[in-house]
Amino acid sequence: MIREKDLKEIFIRASGPGGQNVNKVSTAVMLQHIPTGLMIKCQEFRTQHQNRVRARELLVETLARRMQERRAAATAMIEKARRQTRKRSKAAKERMLQAKKRHSVRKLARGKVCDE
């Protein structure tokens, strides 16, 4: 829910094709959500009212997408921490120890290089 006092609405002249309507009338709407600093500019339609409605729709969609991304990132961090701290199964632990043993044997087999 977006509160009306959190929004700052600015009306500006649109740019691009449109002739006299674009040059004389401030139909474009720039909407700023003050708490997040998010700015949306809409000049899709020829009337100010339609652009106001569309700008609010775009703002709501963008804020909802950002919140969803934040939730997904937090969930991913929790899951990652859970995977990192879980206890290994006996079979997995045994495989890890065997791999360590093979690696140490390989390292011992390398030996030193002689210059003579």
Residue partners of 67: CB distance under 8 A and separation at least 6: none
Q: Which two tokens stand for residue 18?
A: 């449109």
* 60-113 pLDDT, tens digit each: 999 999 999 999 999 999 999 998 888 888 999 999 999 999 999 999 888 777
Domains in the chain with CATH codes = 4-107 (3.30.160.20)
pLDDT for res 65: 95
Q: Is the pTM of this model over 0.75?
A: no
